[in-house]
Amino acid sequence: MQRIFSGIQPSGIPTLGNYLGAIRNWVGLQGDHECLWCVVDLHAITVFQEPEALRTQTREMAAVLLACGIDARRHILFAQSSVRAHAQLAWIFNCIARLGWLNRMTQFKDKAGKDRENASAGLYVYPNLMAADIHAYHATRVPVGDDQKQHLELANDIAQKFNHDYGVDFFPAIEPLILGPAARVMSLRDGTRKMSKSDPSDQSRINLNDDADTIALKIRRAKTDPEPLPEHVGGLDGRAEARNLVGIYAALAGTDHAAVLGTFGGKGFGPFKEALAALLIDKLAPIAAEARRYLADPAGVDAILRDGASRAAAIADPIVAEAERLVGFLRP
């Protein structure tokens, strides 16, 4: 059985984009893989987080993952900072990765923005930590949204250079899994930007803990254009907002754009938005309710994460100890 690793940052409430692009696919992979699901708090602090907010968001992220169907008994759910092996291997990888490789990472350029001199060193070496997350478990398959593909290529380059420099065949190649019709869900305010938990406008996204009224209001206010919905998929060209809403409907209903347009094509956005809001409420309300149930017992969520961390460490510690031996560290 292949081992899967994936991570999500506790930098806010997870969104519909995280759900359709990542979490829902993770749940489906649990049937025939051994899975590690990690709330990556070490990655989150590459951009400053209020300490209390970070603690709360880490627990909330775990609760939402559990509510979505992540199985912490048959698989492993844990917080990254609880397993020391990640940071230990990341240091070795900092010494393997070349500056030239990191300079090509588009996410760093996006996140650092214009004031690059003022970005944290952690944000720069973020992909090395991500490589360590995966390789510390010898995981071979990594489900992510397509924005993370470049980081996985770097993780493979690091593994190859380590194996080459130390003359071993220790870290395996990893395969990205980019799944689903909604690998990229866009903002409700601007169909050309990704829906993101860190967008300043709450109206731009559906949060997985939004209540029914909030969801209905956000969909009613979602940006569209004055034309009716097209009858055919080709008619979505140049209409980013319409395409996004139709894509969300298709992903939630388990169909495709053409089938959705078969029902709603030729009609105005009014009835379509009403049906979309009803579908979202139908799918997301049970998740929000279940997450609230978990969060009513914060110590219970913490216990699940603690148990996950100890089982994760049992896998990662010997692998990272062997990497340290290969590098030449003396263990007197």
CA distance 256 to 233: 10
Window 62-101: contact mask with ligand TRP (x via CB under 6 A): ----------------------------------------
Do 32 and 1 touch, CB atoms closer than 8 A?
A: yes
Token digits of residue 127: 């992909």
> Given the rule CB under 6 A, which of 73-81, 127-135, 145-153, 255-263 is the region that contacts ligand AMP?
145-153
For ligand TRP, the binding residue among 61, 76, 142, 291 (CB under 6 A) is: 142
Which single residue is written with the structure tokens 């990254």? 80
Task: Find which of ligand AMP, ligand TRP, none residue 194 binds, CB within 5 to 8 Å per kind.
Answer: ligand AMP
E strand or H helix at 276: helix 269-295
The answer to the question of residue 157 lying near ligand AMP (CB under 6 A) is: no
The answer to the question of residue 4 lying near ligand TRP (CB under 6 A) is: no
The answer to the question of residue 17 lying near ligand AMP (CB under 6 A) is: yes
The answer to the question of residue 248 lying near ligand AMP (CB under 6 A) is: no
Give residues with Cβ within 8 angstroms of 202, minimum separation 6. none
Torsional sign, CA 139, 144, 149, 151: negative
Minimal distance, residue 277 CB to ligand TRP, in Å: 27
Catalytic residue among 109, 114, 161, 194: 194
Residues shown for the chain: 332
Which residue, 144 or 246, has its beta carbon nearer to ligand AMP?
144
Write out the E strands in 10-98.
34-39, 76-79
Do 26 and 6 touch, CB atoms closer than 8 A?
A: yes
Closest of 164, 157, 167, 208 to residue 185, by C-alpha:
208
Closest of 7, 68, 83 to residue 315, by C-alpha:
83
For ligand AMP, the binding residue among 34, 71, 147, 290 (CB under 6 A) is: 147
Do 257 and 250 touch, CB atoms closer than 8 A?
A: yes
The answer to the question of residue 43 lying near ligand TRP (CB under 6 A) is: yes
Which residue, 35 or 242, has its beta carbon nearer to ligand TRP?
35
Which residue, 5 or 272, has its beta carbon nearer to ligand TRP?
5
The answer to the question of residue 277 lying near ligand TRP (CB under 6 A) is: no
For ligand AMP, the binding residue among 36, 39, 63, 144 (CB under 6 A) is: 144
**C-alpha triplet 170, 39, 322: angle, nearest 5°:** 20
Query: What's the one-letter identity of residue 184?
Result: R
For ligand AMP, the binding residue among 39, 76, 195, 288 (CB under 6 A) is: 195
Catalytic residue among 109, 114, 197, 223: 197
Task: Find which of ligand AMP, ligand TRP, none residue 142 binds, CB within 5 to 8 Å per kind.
Answer: ligand TRP
Q: Would you name the residues annotated as active-site residues?
A: 111, 194, 197
